[in-house]
Amino acid sequence: MKIAVVILNWNGEVLLERYLPYVVKYSVDADIYVADNASTDSSIDYITKNHPSVKIIKNTENGGFAKGYNDALVNVDADIFCLLNSDVKVTSNWLVPIIEAFNRIPDAAIIQPKILDLLKKDHFEYAGAAGGFIDQLGYPFCRGRVFQTLERDNGQYNDIKEIFWATGACMFVKKNVFEELNGFDSDYFAHQEEVDFCWRAKNHGYKIMYVGTSTVYHLGGSTLSNMNPKKTYLNFRNSLFSITKNLPRRKAFTIIFLRLLLDGIAAIRFLFQLRFKHFFAIFRAHLSFYRQFRKMYKKREKTQFIRKYYATKSIVWSYFVNRISNFNILVKD
């Protein structure tokens, strides 16, 4: 299999200086690309001067994660795309277990490795951890990460397991599947576009896998930190987009109604915490969802929507009421 590692960059020269050398060193069997989202810093000059083997794709605008990759990947010739954040430090031999998994599991379309925290290396990292899942109401969570609680890595997820969504921080996807699904939904701009993409892949009958024998370290928060109200806005809005697009119609309307109520409770919680920008971020997320509802509804595909899409009924109830923060206690295989 021909693999291309594609790093999306926007004004990330500092991150490229830190982490691109590891990608070059440990990815000798892959072609390496940097897809630049119209940066105004010296990113391109740095790559050209220090890593001449790295191919550069110049996007004409900063279309965020979704459009940035959609625009770039049409210029990449490979069987497997590895979409890699610029703030990820890869490790020796990280590609071999992924390639082996693709060879052993023919209907695996998307794979992610173990994602550990670069600043706290014995813990899982927020964005992806040991593979993503959602609850019945569409709230995403991970093995190794439930809301803000991150588990220590004790080898409990050193397995190969089917998951529901793979993180965009380090996602391997077959080129033909990416093209069949028409890539990411560029209306998301950033955040949760990988959940929507994987949900659509599931609806098309593909498998998404986690391979815990491959490890990378993620810095996290390089684009938007968890404390940034813009991230709150995008997460709340884009989650509603995914529900609208990927569930049977009656189910989608029911879940959306419940989510709007719970989002309101979350907004009130932010208000009591005096986090007014996050309160208004949820309000703006709902307004944007209402404005774009018809557009999202038209994107619904004529496909067989999977019925068992969730790993648990309510991650919100389990975490905030029952105080369960460990995946293996929360979800019983």
Per-residue pLDDT band for 332 (boundaries 50, 70, 90) equals confident
User: Does the structure show a pLDDT above 80 at 227?
Assistant: no
Judge whether 52 lies within some domain: no
Number of domains, the chain: 1
pTM score: 0.95
Kindly tell me the burial class for residue 291, based on how many C-beta atoms sit within 10 Å of its own C-beta (0-12, 13-18, 19 or more).
exposed
Q: What is the dihedral of CA 24, 14, 63, 303, to 10 degrees?
A: 50
User: Does the structure show a pLDDT above 90 at 304?
Assistant: no
Model pLDDT, residue 222: 52
Residue with tokens 């490795």: 113
Per-residue pLDDT band for 223 (boundaries 50, 70, 90) equals low
Judge whether 245 lies within some domain: yes
Burial pattern 176-207, b for ≥16 Cβ within 10 A else e, equals ebbeebebbbbbbbbbbbbbbbbbbbbbeebe
Average pLDDT over residues 98-110: 97
**Per-residue pLDDT reduced to its tens digit, 134-148:** 999 999 999 999 998
Judge whether 162 lies within some domain: no
User: Does the structure show a pLDDT above 60 at 15?
Assistant: yes
User: Does the structure show a pLDDT above 80 at 224?
Assistant: no
Give the span between the Cα atoms of 247 and 158, in whole angstroms: 31
**Number of helices and strands in the chain (H, E):** 11, 13
Instruction: Provide, rounded to the nearest whole percent, the portion of the chain with pLDDT above 90.
Output: 94
**Per-residue pLDDT reduced to its tens digit, 237-276:** 999 999 999 999 999 999 999 999 999 999 999 999 999 9
| Domain range for 285 | 229-330
Judge whether 25 lies within some domain: no
Model pLDDT, residue 261: 97
Phi, then psi, of 172 in degrees rounded to 5: -100, 130
Judge whether 48 lies within some domain: no
**Per-residue pLDDT reduced to its tens digit, 22-56:** 999 999 999 999 999 999 999 999 999 999 999 99
The β-bridge partners of 113 are 211
- Composition of the chain by helix, strand, coil, percent to 5: 40, 25, 35
Model pLDDT, residue 111: 98
For the chain, what is the mean pLDDT? 95
Give the span between the Cα atoms of 278 and 184, in whole angstroms: 26
Residue with tokens 């309000």: 283
**Per-residue pLDDT reduced to its tens digit, 142-201:** 999 999 899 999 999 999 999 999 999 999 999 999 999 999 999 999 899 999 999 999
Judge whether 202 lies within some domain: no
Residues 6+ apart with CB under 8 A from 191: 65, 224, 231, 234, 235, 238
39-43-46 Cα angle (round to 5): 160
H helix intervals, 105-228: 175-180, 193-203
Q: Identify whether the C-beta of residue 89 lies closer than 8 Å to the C-beta of residue 191.
A: no
**Identity (one letter) of the amino acid at 317?**
W
User: Does the structure show a pLDDT above 60 at 3?
Assistant: yes
Judge whether 292 lies within some domain: yes
User: Does the structure show a pLDDT above 80 at 74?
Assistant: yes
User: Does the structure show a pLDDT above 70 at 226?
Assistant: no
User: Does the structure show a pLDDT above 70 at 69?
Assistant: yes
Judge whether 276 lies within some domain: yes
